[in-house]
Structure 1
Amino acid sequence: MARPALDPLAGAGPAGGPLAGAGPAGGLGAGAETLEGAARAEAVLGRLQLLVTRKLDGLLQGDYVGLLPGPGSEAGESREYRAGDDVRRMDWPVTARTTLPHVRRTVADRELETWLAVDLSASLEFGTAHWLKSDLVIAAATAMAHLTVRGGNRIGAVVGTGSGVPKKTRKKDAQPEHPPVFRLPARPGRKEAQGLLRSIARTHIRPGRADLGELIDMLNRPPRRRGVACVISDFMAPVEGWERPLRKLRVRHDVLAIEVVDPRELELPDVGVLALADPETGELHEVQTSDAKLRSRYADAAAEQRGAIARALRSAGAAHLRLRTDTDWLLDMVRFVAAQRHARTRGTTR
């Protein structure tokens, strides 16, 4: 379904969207090969950073600003033990004194290294509501950078996209492209974070699917000190391909999984015969959406798929944030952060 082109600087609410119109198809990567596309990406990023600063500053204040405050080495207060707590942090003196099991909290380290695994497969160049899924990927990366880059923290990324056209069929005078998976080194400072976001926004989304398991596994190599790892994807790849690398990543890092979803991936509208194109393979399919049984089977299959993704993320120990193209993603993010902070402080003794 096509979306009308809009001015990328017009409107910051769900109806206008700060990301609309960035490229011929509305996505940031679609026009990145031209100067016009780069200029639009720059304008959209500027608008995004202003929007994130205005809406998140003041709401998420504290000693450490971030989606997932990382554990530190400095001892903090004790609180009662809850199922799932790390037994290595048991506070035995307080436990003996109160006769109730307690764990020692730690103060978040001031300097934190955050890594993003950004999936820009062709399936993300899709959207039927206020923006494309690829737009939400860039928005989520921008919010993560804004929330974690302060205080000398470093942020880096690994970005994956489709393999695209084979090299043998490319023109000799074609512009060089990023490989299907590439790394952007972690550096401190806002200027470096903005450069990282520009590189992500200008990534040309090519046909095919990035190997999500390989993308996540790149965050495990080489081994890094404990920090925060954020995986941004629609997680449409087979679960068995990325669940194990995610479990391995969770052993050493706090992991946040941001799932990007479009409402048409959950249910089909009754619009008669609908022509669909697979963005990764180019295959065309015609679907009779007037068939109520077909729509019901589609919704059931979609619910089962999303349920399997949620179970895999929960089993891996990752925090799970779902962003939809038809809702206010900033509000969803604020609610998620508030819930995370409430869960971390619940049961704290004073």
Structure 2
Amino acid sequence: MTSPTRRPLGAPADRSEAVLSRLQLLVTRKLDGLLQGDYAGLLPGPGSEAGESREYRPGDDVRRMDWPVTARTTTPHVRRTVADRELETWLAVDLSASLDFGTGQWLKRDVVVAAAAAIAHLTVRGGNRIGAVIGSGGGAAAPTGRWRAASPVAGPGVYTRLPARSGRKEAQGLLRAIAGTEIRPGRGDLGRLVDMLNRPPRRRGVAVVVSDFLAPPAQWVRPLRKLRVRHDVLAVEVVDPRELELPDVGVLPVVDPETGELHEVQTADPALRHRYAAAAAAQRAEISAALRSAGAAHLRLRTDRDWLLDMVRFVAAQRHARTRGTTR
């Protein structure tokens, strides 16, 4: 994706701390209310411990049919299950150069950090563990401190693995490491980043991929489908309005943040703007279809909208689906 403006690579430490402090306040105020009542995760799944039975409803998983109760009552019933309480959540955080862009209230990278903060807040309680893998462009930057990478990963781009740990302080350290990761020029490999969550194999949990998904779906859909076999998967897509349509501002110089190539675009041409919007809509439809085919829940956050309100609505919809006996 081309970018008309870029800020200097790497965010100052004081800016990262200020952004995180504000995010924590926003997240705590708006998301705490969603944690009241019975335990349920960000993507509430069926759990593994058997509970009581209830009548079958359209959309229920037929694999959860309670045949003895169905036989006794002659009415289809399904088994309700108790959600697992100690879950492991892994984040795959894409901080490639295309995320260092934004024309709304936030930069795309800020929305990525914000999404990670909200997910950590929703999943860290009750002894749950949270870890992350971070991918960026070329270079040799990595978080410092006790959240140093467990093992460097070779290949295109820079990849850092942060081990899964429990506790709010540990989650805060993980978020600081994500916010302090320097975005470097060059192309990363989203498929490789997602595949890092598949190796080594882990017990069933929640996997969250945060990216703009601008890499070709052929690069990442297969690792994502493989990830869905063992885990509940959430794909958080970060979008800027200028990636969907161009404004009429005359000749616009744009730079590809991943390659550094400079182009001049005549945005006064209505036919060009129409073709751009059509191509962008087709690209987003392809991304949505690929995520759906991989079995991932899909949340889209925009830099020009209240990302936290969109996340609240998404979580509320997931909880509502769970009360109706579905897992999606």
TM-score (norm 2): 0.89
What residue number does 1:262 align with?
Answer: 240
| Deviation for aligned residue 1:46 | 1.6
Match of 2:119 among 131, 138, 144: 144
| Deviation for aligned residue 1:227 | 0.5
Identity within the alignment, %: 79
What residue number does 2:10 align with?
Answer: 30
Is 2:96–2:184's contact at 8 Å kept on the other side of the alignment?
Answer: yes
| Deviation for aligned residue 1:243 | 0.5
Structure 2 residue matching 1:322: 3-state secondary structure: strand
Number of aligned positions between the proteins: 309
Q: In structure 2, list runs of 5 or more residues that go unmatched.
A: 142-151
Is 2:111–2:303's contact at 8 Å kept on the other side of the alignment?
Answer: yes
Is 1:121–1:209's contact at 8 Å kept on the other side of the alignment?
Answer: yes
Q: Say if 2:322 is the partner of 1:344.
A: yes
* 1:44-78 deviation digits (Å, cap 9, x = unpaired): 21221111001111244222253212442221243
What residue number does 1:208 align with?
Answer: 186
Q: State the distance in 1 between where 2:218 and 2:191 align.
A: 9
Is 1:65–1:147's contact at 8 Å kept on the other side of the alignment?
Answer: no
Q: State the distance in 2 between where 1:284 and 1:137 align.
A: 26
Q: State the distance in 1 between where 2:204 and 2:270 align.
A: 50
Q: State the distance in 2 between where 1:328 and 1:312 align.
A: 25
Is 1:163–1:210's contact at 8 Å kept on the other side of the alignment?
Answer: yes
Given the superposition, is the C-alpha separation of residues 248 and 136 from structure 1 closer, same or farther in structure 2, using an over 3 Å criterion?
A: same
Match of 1:228 among 200, 206, 217: 206
What residue number does 1:271 align with?
Answer: 249
What residue number does 1:124 align with?
Answer: 99
Structure 2 residue matching 1:82: 3-state secondary structure: coil
Is 2:34–2:316's contact at 8 Å kept on the other side of the alignment?
Answer: no
What residue number does 1:12 align with?
Answer: none
Is 1:154–1:186's contact at 8 Å kept on the other side of the alignment?
Answer: yes
Q: Say if 2:109 is the partner of 1:134.
A: yes
Is 1:66–1:144's contact at 8 Å kept on the other side of the alignment?
Answer: no
Q: State the distance in 2 between where 1:165 and 1:183 align.
A: 14
Q: State the distance in 1 between where 2:75 and 2:224 align.
A: 34
Is 1:70–1:227's contact at 8 Å kept on the other side of the alignment?
Answer: no
What residue number does 2:268 align with?
Answer: 290
Is 1:70–1:228's contact at 8 Å kept on the other side of the alignment?
Answer: no
Given the superposition, is the C-alpha separation of residues 91 and 118 from structure 1 closer, same or farther in structure 2, using an over 3 Å criterion?
A: same
What residue number does 1:219 align with?
Answer: 197
Match of 1:305 among 271, 283, 292: 283
What residue number does 2:175 align with?
Answer: 197
The answer to which structure, 1 or 2, has the higher relative contact order (CA under 8 A, 6+ apart) is: 2
